[in-house]
Structure 1
């Protein structure tokens, strides 16, 4: 398939994954579904795990998923190549007693999740999605279609709106979802109905708001891809595509995809990168290969972690916010993320390895570094490097509108990231 056609197909497949993943829980299950369809075996953490070479396994914990492929000939000291990403995105999460409203409107009580661009959520149709814990012990996933909206106050009633809109995080962020009396309505009932369960069965829930519009390719020469949750489902998608492609051909390493939850909150959870999930999987994986503690440490010393998350493309209207020299742009390749204060884990050895993987994939790469006056965020890279001691490189794709309800990427960058991931998994 010609590169342009392959890139477009990759973008449309990413749109499918995002549409199936309105919450981190849905994203983890979509990863599992794709891997099972490709022949991977799903394991439960409470079961004993088989260790036969050639087996491929996937584990799902809450909104996180870890999958790997054990090649024939794997030993107790075979290194692992982990591509790390995250399944959550900034937005809003449903509060307790979520059905509210006034003046004849039904509203949803939500709490701000992470650091979203609040005004980007205005005047667009939104979904409600997440997991429901039921009275019989089951946990089910549920997702509505377009249900909610955050309507902006008309400019006739706020003449200063264009001078700088500032939303109150409590009173300005409660979306409408219907008309009527809140005492006789139940937004959880709307969500429960999509899963075919009675709202009375719900004992607990984790539900978030997501953009209802599908991801689209557009622009001159179909250069752009816009979608919700590109941060960081773009990397999750690249990783799962690459892992499926690599699974039957890999030799000498164990390729692994680690898609964590709660990165936007700092990763400190049982399913976040600061938690024990990856270490738990690695310990059990090497135990299945007969490794003792010393052999496991030898394997990890030879291993790599590619921490893949989005970074900032230079913005044509705000170029002064970027470094004056290092200015990555959409469509010019994935990015290597560098920070002197270790907000990214990349060092000289990692930069050289990244250059090799890009060269092997035939992909151009760009560098990203922040303007000194505009401190950058961080990623799971420094967290996993600190926790496990695995050599780590921070990479990703450049985007605009980061943390918006709908972000903007380059079609070719999305595809190229998956190609480099494939080279990384090939060792």
Structure 2
């Protein structure tokens, strides 16, 4: 695979994955096509040497792994972690709002979204709907309207004279409600969702819609941009970019050592859920593979996790927001994230493993430390490390406009990280004690 084909498939992955549910469905599709076997948490597992497997939870988190050997206690896993969710607007349960001559949707802000970037964008709706069939069964299906059916119009500057000098604040209760159509039209949300289910799934009937988890998203396609094609411009780069890079590394790794990819939901709101990094999903899987307690501990201590999330690139218009000694540039390599207060899980040993691989491949690596007078974000790295005790490295691809409706990353960085993760998957020795 070359960089051009890698990035072409990345753009398709981003466009096919408007929600965490769709991201996991897309990953399942690619894993099945590559010969991976689906496991069911409700059933007994039979794991064979030389196997390739995946398991999902809540339809929004996924773990995939290879078993070239079953000697996990002595081989450990080379783990890659990412998250499937992104900041967005989600529909409230009683979403339909009719006011002042328009049908609108009541929304709740999910995660730390840059709200003003959602204004004046062509929006669609996607997610999971749970319903009762005509035979009385409860089922869930994914839907995606795909067409631009909603928008949040800005307020004209004539009615907001100070917006360019005094700043612009968006009230998430009153000012971010999308407009669907005029009140002269009849609008029934349940009927609309039923039509979409039947249109997209011919294997079910719908007696009544009972519940849904639906998100708004920008219909503009992901693209390679910049004068020389230097950038990837897309929604949900944080953190579907890492999900894609990790999956490609797993699919193409030629490794005699077990390799595992974990992509979990709810990172943007703290990861505390049954399918989040602060939940039991990864531990549950590892304990099923190594049911003997001593072997479980050995497996974890023989393993290493690379937690891949986006990193803040030095913004040329806001350079003073960075520590000038730790200011990553786009297309100058993935970023090792360091925080001595444990907001990142990187330590000197895990950083050294990554730098050694990058040096071996003659690829660049950068380091990020937040300014000492600013608060630091976090990732699934310290959460996973704290949950199971695995040695962890936090890295990320430098990105502009993180948590905007449309983010910007480097067209070179993702492919170079993929090459480093391929080498990480097959590396026999990490740190010699």
| Both proteins in one fold, TM over 0.5 | yes
Q: How does 1:163-242 map to 2 (within 5 A)?
A: 163=165, 164-180=167-183, 184-196=186-198, 201-242=208-249
- 1:64 aligns to what? 61
C-alpha separation between the residues in 2 aligned to 1:75 and 1:306? 18
C-alpha separation between the residues in 2 aligned to 1:139 and 1:68? 26
- Does residue 53 (structure 1) correspond to residue 49 (structure 2)? The answer is yes
C-alpha separation between the residues in 1 aligned to 2:413 and 2:272? 30
The structure-2 alpha-carbon separation of the partners of 1:189 and 1:21, relative to structure 1 and needing over 3 Å to count, comes to farther
The farther-off stretch of 197-206 and 318-327 is 197-206
Per-residue CA deviation, residues 49-103 of structure 1 (Å, 9 max, x unaligned), is 1121011111111210000010046454320111110000001111011111322
* Offset of residue 48 of structure 1: 1.2
Aligned length: 415
The farther-off stretch of 194-203 and 25-34 is 194-203
Q: How does 1:23-422 map to 2 (within 5 A)?
A: 23-62=19-58, 63-72=60-69, 74-135=71-132, 136-145=137-146, 146-163=148-165, 164-180=167-183, 184-196=186-198, 201-246=208-253, 249-251=254-256, 253-287=257-291, 292-422=292-422
* Offset of residue 105 of structure 1: 1.4
- Asked whether the equivalents of residues 193 and 209 of structure 2 are also in contact (C-alpha less than 8 Å), the reply is no
Per-residue CA deviation, residues 221-258 of structure 1 (Å, 9 max, x unaligned), is 21011000000000000011110001xx211x211110
The farther-off stretch of 72-81 and 272-281 is 72-81
Matched residue SS, 1:196: helix
Per-residue CA deviation, residues 93-133 of structure 1 (Å, 9 max, x unaligned), is 11011111322211111001011000011111112111011
Per-residue CA deviation, residues 298-323 of structure 1 (Å, 9 max, x unaligned), is 12111101111001000000001111
Matched residue SS, 1:152: coil
- 2:202 aligns to what? none
* Offset of residue 422 of structure 1: 1.3
Matched residue SS, 1:18: helix
Per-residue CA deviation, residues 307-351 of structure 1 (Å, 9 max, x unaligned), is 110010000000011112211110101110011111001011111
* Offset of residue 357 of structure 1: 2.5
C-alpha separation between the residues in 2 aligned to 1:11 and 1:187? 37
The farther-off stretch of 68-77 and 383-392 is 68-77
* Offset of residue 420 of structure 1: 1.5
Tell me how large the CA RMSD over aligned residues is: 1.6
- Asked whether the equivalents of residues 258 and 278 of structure 1 are also in contact (C-alpha less than 8 Å), the reply is yes
Matched residue SS, 1:275: coil
- Asked whether the equivalents of residues 215 and 227 of structure 1 are also in contact (C-alpha less than 8 Å), the reply is yes
Any stretches of 5+ residues in structure 1 without a counterpart? none
